[in-house]
Chain A
């Protein structure tokens, strides 16, 4: 093991910490290894004493966690709840569409898939089912963003958070029934037989769970981004080079 190799390995693992802190850690670590060498320790012994690079990196990240740990527990649970609602909703609508005779012209999903793969034009003819599938995939993306956001906030670069914000916003807009979201009004109307939307389907569309989740995620990303930016600025001011 060489000093540069060890330090390089650690630096790679903590690359998402602010640059000023990384530079400082790098210098301190190099100094420490040099001190150990001057003190008669061997390189192999140093790795045993200091721990393997990945463990050292984890210790460093863990040590900085209090500065970056935000109170997200409540928000995390709220997010899980908001994510489960559209899942139940989408799954129940999928079951409805696949099992109700003739909602999109098919008797069963078996026949649907058979016709889908036999004749491409079937895709265009059966928008509800295709919409649901696209909605479901987009929903999974949103859930993935939410998971990353609430579990990896320390490791996330601000640019990644910003990218997730943009994507969530685009997906959110796509999931609105006026664009490509599942048209709840028709499905519920057909199922229940009553209209609860009055004359404002656009407004109702705002309350649809999968759309709501996407917008929730976008707002959360934006807030995390702003918070991380301000926190890093404060942190860097506290530890100038």
Chain B
């Protein structure tokens, strides 16, 4: 059962991360907490899973990163991610696809009820 759940989660991770980044400029840890909070703990993403995913989205040109020096914290640099124009278009396309996808899946699941 858990294996199938993991597969579901993996499949929608990019979409959700992209959506969260599209809402506002954000950083790694913030993404993890937002994801956890907004999913009532269903998506407990770990750093080890998040980084490769972020790098891949960046590599595909869907998001871009900027480093900002934080005031009052030993000049610590923090990496912020924001969505690109291409990312926004891709996100819209993915959301449309998700609507259609989930609709069809639900339709099949209701067969015989």
Contacts of B59 in A (CB 8 A): 235, 238-239
* Interface check A135, CB cutoff 8 A: no
Q: Give the contact stretch, choosing among A27-35, A163-171, A192-200, A216-224.
A: A27-35
Q: Which of B27, B47, B73, B79 has the most CB of A within 10 A?
A: B47
Is there a chain A Cβ closer than 8 Å to B97's Cβ? no
- Which residues on the B side are within 8 Å of A10 (C-beta)? 48
State the interface size on chain B (CB cutoff 8 A): 23
Complex interface: stretch among A50-58, A124-132, A144-152, A177-185: A50-58
- Total inter-chain residue pairs, C-beta < 8 Å: 70
Query: Is A76 engaged at the interface, CB distance under 8 Å to the other chain?
Result: no
Q: Is the CB of A28 within 8 A of B48?
A: no
User: Are the CB atoms of B48 and A63 closer together than 8 Å?
Assistant: yes
Q: B55, A56: Cβ atoms under 8 Å?
A: no
Most buried by B among A49, A63, A235, A239: A63
A29 surroundings in chain B (CB, below 8 A)? 47, 51
Interface of B is mostly: helix
Name the residue of chain A whose CB is nearest to the CB of B49: A59
| Of A10, A31, A36, A62, most B-chain CB atoms within 10 Å | A31
Asked if A82 is at the interface (CB within 8 A of a chain B CB), the reply is no
**A25 touches B (CB below 8 Å):** yes
Contact of B69 with A by CB under 8 A: no
Q: Does B76 contact A (CB under 8 A)?
A: yes
A55 touches which one: B30, B48, B58 (CB < 8 A)? Answer: B48
Tell me which residues across on chain B come within 8 A of A64, comparing CB atoms. 52
Decide if A59 touches B76 in the complex (CB within 8 Å).
no
Q: Which residues of A contact B27 (CB under 8 A)?
A: 31, 35
With a cutoff of 8 Å between Cβ atoms, the chain A residues found around residue B73 in the complex are: 34, 38
Give bound CA distance, A50 to B78, whole Å.
19
Is B86 engaged at the interface, CB distance under 8 Å to the other chain?
A: no
Decide yes or no whether B53 CB sits under 8 A from chain A.
yes
- CB proximity to B under 8 Å, residues A60-86: 60, 62-64, 66-67
- Structural contact, B79 and A25, CB atoms closer than 8 A: no
Contacts of B55 in A (CB 8 A): 21, 24, 239
B75 in the interface, Cβ–Cβ < 8 Å?
no
Q: A28 with B47: in contact, given A35-B29, A238-B59 (CB under 8 Å)?
A: yes
Cβ-defined partner of A32 (8 Å) among B29, B49, B56, B58: B29
* Cβ-defined contact, A27 with B79, below 8 A: yes
Q: Given A36-B29, A238-B59, A239-B58 in contact, is the A50-B48 Cβ separation under 8 Å?
A: yes
On whether A59 and B29 interact (CB within 8 A), knowing A34-B76, A239-B55, the answer reads no
In the complex the two chains form, what is the Cα distance from A25 to B46 in whole Å? 13
Q: Would you list 16 pairs from A and B whose C-beta atoms are within 8 A, ordered by A residue? A: A21-B55, A28-B47, A28-B79, A31-B76, A31-B78, A31-B79, A35-B27, A35-B30, A50-B46, A51-B48, A56-B48, A57-B48, A58-B48, A60-B52, A63-B49, A63-B53
6 smallest CB-CB distances across A and B, nearest first, come from A63-B52, A59-B48, A56-B48, A35-B29, A238-B59, A32-B29
